[in-house]
């Protein structure tokens, strides 16, 4: 019996994904009119099919396909909670997931879309659920969390079998609780978010603490905002 998502198989066969060094996003080769790329990561790219729009197809780079079975097992363990997509199937090239509407928290910052406190509470509850299933809730960042009807949906679970705490969520939560009110409702320039991201990846080397890192970010943001205001006043 054919599944509803099988209609995408021919189109997906025209796509090849390759990984890149230094943890850079994958490169996509090939083209299919019915496919739209809706996400790119370091191991895989995610596509939506015109005639199967309720599914997301996570196509792995050729040298990363060994991760497919592992990620499928993680989704199986998390089944039954609304905080994560559903995983319907896996083969030797891709996962078939539920397509999740909404925008990432990264895009919320770019567009000035308000992120309600309920999102933070949802992620906290989701993390507890992950732990109850014997997994490790790590690699939770702005591009892995979707704002969906005022609630959180977490869209990448691939790191949950790895040990250790990367503190990415803890730092995001602290930043939200302490500083988010300063930028809430403002569209943040892409260059600024990218600068902060790069600084964050180096913060243990460049800054004595996370608080010092955040104070530097706030000073940069304030300086740029004041400079823009002065330039605007001159034009008037």
199 contact partners, CB below 8 Å, separation of at least 6 = 206, 207, 213, 216, 217
Q: In terms of Cα–Cα distance, which of 129, 146, 142 is closest to 172?
A: 142
Phi and psi dihedrals of 106, rounded to 5? -60, -45
pLDDT (0 to 100) of residue 217? 74
Q: Which CATH class is domain 101-185?
A: mainly alpha
Stated pTM of the model = 0.85
HSE value, Cβ hemisphere, 13 Å, CA-based, for 71: 29
pLDDT (0 to 100) of residue 235? 54
pLDDT (0 to 100) of residue 233? 47
According to DSSP, the residues that pair with 151 across neighbouring strands are 148
Cβ(138)–Cβ(166) under 8 Å?
yes
Cβ(142)–Cβ(27) under 8 Å?
no
Do 4-98 and 101-185 agree at the fold level?
no
> What residue segments make up the domains of the chain, in order of their start?
4-98, 101-185, 189-236
Q: From CA 100, how far away is CA 104, in angstroms rounded?
A: 11
Q: In terms of Cα–Cα distance, which of 69, 79, 66, 65 is closest to 129?
A: 79
User: Could you give the angle at the alpha carbon of 168 between the alpha carbons of 83 and 143, nearest 5°?
Assistant: 55
User: Could you give the angle at the alpha carbon of 166 between the alpha carbons of 165 and 170, nearest 5°?
Assistant: 90
The one-digit pLDDT tens for each residue of the chain (236 residues) are: 468 999 999 999 999 999 999 889 999 999 999 999 999 999 999 999 999 999 999 999 999 999 999 999 999 999 878 999 999 999 999 999 999 999 999 999 999 999 999 999 999 999 999 999 999 999 999 999 999 999 999 999 999 999 999 889 999 999 999 889 988 999 999 988 888 888 777 766 666 677 777 777 777 766 555 445 445 445 55
Q: From CA 91, how far away is CA 121, in angstroms rounded?
A: 34
pLDDT (0 to 100) of residue 212? 77
Q: Which CATH class is domain 4-98?
A: alpha beta
12 contact partners, CB below 8 Å, separation of at least 6 = 32, 35, 47, 49, 57, 59, 93, 94
pLDDT (0 to 100) of residue 199? 77
């Amino acid at each position: 019996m054919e599944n509803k998502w099988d209609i995408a198989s021919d189109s997906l066969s025209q796509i090849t994904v390759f990984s890149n060094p230094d943890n850079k996003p994958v490169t996509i080769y090939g083209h299919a009119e019915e496919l739209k790329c809706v996400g790119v990561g370091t191991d895989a790219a995610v596509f939506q099919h015109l005639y199967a729009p309720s599914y997301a197809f996570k196509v792995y780079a050729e040298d990363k396909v060994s991760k497919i079975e592992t990620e499928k097992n993680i989704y199986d363990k998390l089944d039954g909670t609304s905080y994560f997509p559903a995983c319907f199937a896996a083969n030797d090239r891709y996962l078939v997931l539920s397509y999740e509407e909404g925008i990432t928290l990264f895009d919320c910052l770019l567009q000035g879309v308000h992120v309600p406190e309920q999102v933070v509470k949802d992620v906290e509850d989701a993390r507890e659920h992950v732990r109850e299933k014997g997994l490790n809730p790590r690699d939770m960042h702005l591009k892995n969390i979707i704002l969906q009807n005022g609630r959180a949906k977490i869209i990448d679970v691939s790191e949950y079998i790895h040990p250790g705490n990367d503190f990415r969520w803890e730092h995001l939560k602290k930043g939200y609780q302490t500083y988010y009110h300063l930028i809430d409702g403002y569209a943040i320039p892409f260059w600024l978010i990218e600068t902060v991201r790069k600084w964050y990846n180096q913060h243990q080397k460049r800054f004595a603490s996370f608080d010092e890192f955040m104070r530097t970010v706030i000073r940069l943001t304030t300086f740029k905002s004041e400079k823009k205001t002065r330039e605007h006043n001159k034009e008037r």
